Amino acid sequence: MIARPDPHPAEIRRWRRYLADERAEAAVYRDLAVRRSGEERAILLALADAEARHEAHWVALLGPHADRVPAVSVRTRILGFFARRFGSVFVLALAQRAETRSPYAADAHATPAMAADERIHGEVVRGLAARGRQRLSGTFRAAVFGANDGLVSNLALVMGIGAAGLGPSAVLLTGLAGLLAGALSMGAGEYVSVRSQRELLDASTPDPEAHTALPHLDVDANELALVYRARGMDESAAIEHARSTLADYDPAVAAARAAEAEAEQHEAVGSAWGAALSSFAFFASGAVIPVIPYLLGLEGLTAIVVSAVLVGIALLVTGAIVGVLSGASPLNRALRQLAIGYGAAAATYLLGLAFGATVV
């Protein structure tokens, strides 16, 4: 494509910004690829090559003006920083949002193919991020939500007791008791939940050793087709699948498939002990924040305000993390988390004022 003879200064600035972002995003995908292997690595490198195509488009439009490229946006710099140091699902989730917010569809100087590319890139990154989210679904989910529960529940407890006019020692003891009780409850509940889910999966998963019976079945009279009908196939498809299974049976292949299916299911659920310990530790780490002012010797309204501020900051962080992982706006999720936490704390604070003495 030939660059326009006299582009407007505003166009030059915009194209330079696009060029800088394309180069930076290609670098992000390459940095992520360094930490991946196999199919994921190949996909990320292909995305980097696609960004290079877009880069060439803006270079051609800019012509001699392409030599003074501005600094990349703050968002892209943050992506690059995390990609180089962590290469985690957080970066993929942020990249997913970046691709879906591309301005190319509304820019006449970007080709329709480029706008379409960005939409497809968003779906590719969404798929990669989904893999990471699935790997994090067990232990990490328990960790994040355990911390949030600890923050909200213990802040509400401390605010209510503090508003009732009890002394700082009583508030501190109540907060520590709430921390321990909540952490034990969360850990035990998460263990039972994950363990029960594993047991349910084990009961519903086909017996990995069942394939060893196949060589001994009577080819003309057996109930293998009933197995597939019980799993949802219609009669004709089940009969055909049973015949092909018996005809093509390979013990090594069947054993490998059964082991792979079992491993995938257990990976999706996560470890019961891992989830329990994460819930305990992260609930405790969240629940200790509201009592920090009392541990430092503060009391009265000062301690309550400091506690609320510390918890508010922590709620913003956990909300933003949840937003990134879910592909939603980190800011919106952070503010929502803050509103929920402060709403619960305000309710118990008002209850404490209603039934206790005035805080001085």
Q: DSSP characters for 159-173? A: HHHHHTT--HHHHHH
DSSP code of residue 72: P
Burial class (CB in 10 A: 0-12, 13-18, 19+), 296: exposed
Q: Based on the fold, state whether residues 321 and 276 are members of the same structural domain.
A: yes
Residue 99 in any domain: the answer is: yes
- Over residues 153-160, the mean pLDDT reads 93
Q: What is the pLDDT of residue 133?
A: 64
Residue 147 has pLDDT above 50, yes or no: yes
Q: Based on the fold, state whether residues 43 and 110 are members of the same structural domain.
A: yes
Cα separation of 338 and 216, whole Å? Answer: 63
Q: Based on the fold, state whether residues 52 and 172 are members of the same structural domain.
A: no
3-state secondary structure of 122: helix
Residue 281 in any domain: the answer is: yes
- The residue type found at 15 is W
pLDDT in tens, 68-102: 766 666 666 666 665 555 556 667 766 666 666 77
pTM over 0.75: no
3-state secondary structure of 218: strand
Q: What is the pLDDT of residue 182?
A: 92
Q: Based on the fold, state whether residues 121 and 262 are members of the same structural domain.
A: no
* Domain-terminating residue out of 92, 118, 135: 135
CATH number at residue 108: 1.20.1260
* Domain-terminating residue out of 135, 163, 193: 135
Cα separation of 32 and 83, whole Å? Answer: 6
Q: What is the pLDDT of residue 263?
A: 52
Q: Based on the fold, state whether residues 186 and 327 are members of the same structural domain.
A: yes
Contact of 334 with 323, CB cutoff 8 Å: yes
Token pair belonging to 83: 């990609």
3-state secondary structure of 208: coil
Residue 165 in any domain: the answer is: yes
HSE-up of residue 91 (Cα within 13 Å, Cβ side): 23
Residue 283 in any domain: the answer is: yes
Bridge partners, residue 218, by sequence: 221
Cα separation of 279 and 144, whole Å? Answer: 8
3-state secondary structure of 44: helix
Contact of 130 with 156, CB cutoff 8 Å: no
Residue 1 in any domain: the answer is: no
Q: Based on the fold, state whether residues 309 and 172 are members of the same structural domain.
A: yes
Q: Which domain, by its residues, includes 332?
A: 139-201+271-355
Q: How confident is the model at residue 359 (pLDDT cuts 50, 70, 90)?
A: very low
Q: Based on the fold, state whether residues 254 and 339 are members of the same structural domain.
A: no
Dihedral, CA of residue 218, residue 220, residue 221 and residue 222, to nearest 10: 60
Task: Enumerate residues 6+ apart whose C-beta is below 8 A from 12.
Answer: 62, 65
Secondary structure (H, E, C), 239-255: HHHHHHHHHCCCHHHHH
Q: Total structural domains in the chain?
A: 3
Q: What is the pLDDT of residue 26?
A: 83
- Over residues 334-354, the mean pLDDT reads 92
Residue 246 in any domain: the answer is: yes
Residue 27 in any domain: the answer is: yes
Q: Based on the fold, state whether residues 283 and 196 are members of the same structural domain.
A: yes
Q: How far is CA 58 from CA 110, 114, 118, 121, 132, in A?
A: 9, 11, 15, 18, 33
Residue 52 has pLDDT above 80, yes or no: yes
Q: What is the pLDDT of residue 170?
A: 92
Q: What are phi and psi of 143, to 5 degrees?
A: -65, -50
Q: Based on the fold, state whether residues 184 and 316 are members of the same structural domain.
A: yes
* Domain-terminating residue out of 135, 150, 170: 135
Residue 266 has pLDDT above 60, yes or no: no
Q: Based on the fold, state whether residues 343 and 224 are members of the same structural domain.
A: no
**Among candidate residues 335, 303, 304, 301, the one with its CA nearest the CA of residue 318:** 335
Token pair belonging to 174: 């109540």
How many other β-carbons are positioned within 10 Å of the β-carbon of residue 331? 12
3-state secondary structure of 90: helix
3-state secondary structure of 296: coil
Q: Based on the fold, state whether residues 121 and 232 are members of the same structural domain.
A: no
Residue 173 in any domain: the answer is: yes
Q: Based on the fold, state whether residues 100 and 219 are members of the same structural domain.
A: no
Q: How far is CA 340 from CA 35, 87, 184, 324, 346, in A?
A: 37, 31, 23, 18, 10
pLDDT, greater one: 252 or 293: 293
